[in-house]
């Protein structure tokens, strides 16, 4: 039986300190997050401190609520994907941290080998689906080559160097970092060009978009100077990713959504 470790707020804070997540956020994105949280400065250290102070302890009632749902999620994932559970553990335990509901728009995600849940997510009816989705992200971290073959051979993505992508449209200022997909390193060839999927935040909403990439005169570099298209409006893109209709900003998210959907589609009631 898998042991669940509910992190204390101090332990969860340490996960943020060890993770590259907050260091990956660009200076332009800091402004989005500053305004979202009504911060008075966009200095990175101030935002990092805000995250550290947003970690919480689990209550006894929350632990009693989460643990059986989590163990059921582990059972379903192992039944669908034999052998996967051994890769999800850190020091033989499955680790869960808790943060305030306002953090990261209350989205669940993983830091290092820990699943991070907001107060709001804990009480949602979809908690089991959420946990399976996040456990797949943990598996991605331990078996990257397994997933990279799927992204290349099944979806048609190709790996690029994100440091050699220059976005010159105003939408660069609206890019959002996904902690489960820190590097925007996967592009996909559609009928009219090469595209980079990403998340943008406009008018207080997140949008999965596709940035068209053009080869730069500087060898190995790409430039995107056009308004991005809405990812789910591109039929050719959806067909390439097996008609995933959930999170489509990165192959990490696409495959996690597909596996989770398949688990519940094939679930015997």
Asked if residues 211 and 167 have their Cβ atoms less than 8 Å apart, the reply is: yes
**Within 10 Å of residue 197's Cβ, how many Cβ atoms?**
26
Q: Does the pLDDT at position 79 exceed 70?
A: yes
Q: Which residues contact 75 (CB under 8 A, 6 or more apart)?
A: none
Instruction: Name the more confident of 62 and 40.
Output: 62
How does pLDDT run across 220-235, given as a tens digit for each residue? Answer: 899 999 999 999 999 9
**Band of the pLDDT at 27, cuts 50, 70, 90?**
confident
Instruction: Quick: pLDDT tens for 238-258.
Output: 999 999 989 999 999 999 999
What's the confidence (pLDDT) of residue 39?
Answer: 59
Token digits for 250? 């990165």
Instruction: State the maximum Cα–Cα separation within the chain, in Å, rounded to a whole number.
Output: 59
* DSSP letters spanning 219-238: TT-EEE-SPPEEGGG-HHHH
Give CA–CA dist 219/229, Å, rounded: 26
Q: What is the CA radius of gyration of the chain?
A: 19
pTM (two decimals): 0.94
* Stronger pLDDT, 242 or 91, i.e. the higher one: 242
pLDDT reported for residue 40: 56
Q: Kindly state the helix (H) or strand (E) to which residue 128 belongs, with its residue range.
A: helix 127-142
Q: pLDDT averaged over the chain?
A: 92
Is 62's pLDDT higher than 80? yes
Q: Which pLDDT does position 269 carry in this prediction?
A: 46
**44 to 20, 25, 59, 107, 259: CA distances (angstroms):** 13, 9, 30, 21, 35
Q: What is the pLDDT of residue 245?
A: 86
Pairing label, strands 165-167, 222-224: parallel
């Amino acid at each position: 039986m898998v042991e669940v470790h509910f992190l204390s707020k101090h332990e969860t804070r340490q996960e943020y300190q060890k993770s590259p997540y907050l260091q990956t956020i660009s200076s332009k994105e800091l402004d989005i997050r500053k305004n979202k949280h009504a911060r008075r400065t966009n200095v990175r250290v101030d935002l990092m401190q805000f995250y550290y102070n947003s970690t919480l302890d689990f209550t006894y009632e929350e632990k009693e609520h989460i643990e059986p749902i989590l163990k059921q999620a582990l059972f379903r994932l192992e039944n669908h994907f034999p052998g996967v559970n051994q890769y999800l553990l850190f020091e033989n335990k499955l680790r869960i941290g808790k943060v305030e509901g306002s953090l990261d728009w209350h989205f669940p995600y993983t830091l290092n080998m820990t699943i991070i849940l907001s107060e709001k997510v804990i009480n949602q009816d979809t908690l089991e689906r959420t946990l399976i989705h996040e456990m797949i992200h943990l598996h991605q971290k331990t078996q990257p080559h397994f997933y990279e073959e799927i992204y290349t051979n099944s979806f048609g993505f190709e790996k690029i160097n994100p440091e050699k992508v220059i976005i010159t449209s105003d939408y660069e200022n609206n890019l959002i970092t996904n902690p489960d997909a820190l590097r925007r390193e996967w592009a996909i060839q559609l009928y009219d060009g090469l595209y980079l999927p990403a998340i943008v935040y406009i008018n207080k909403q997140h949008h999965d978009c596709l940035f068209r990439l053009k080869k730069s005169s500087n060898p190995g570099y790409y430039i995107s100077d056009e308004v991005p298209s809405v990812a789910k409006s591109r039929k050719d893109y959806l067909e390439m990713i097996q008609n995933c209709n959930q999170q489509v900003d990165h192959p990490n998210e696409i495959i996690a959504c597909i596996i989770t959907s398949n688990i519940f589609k094939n679930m015997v009631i």
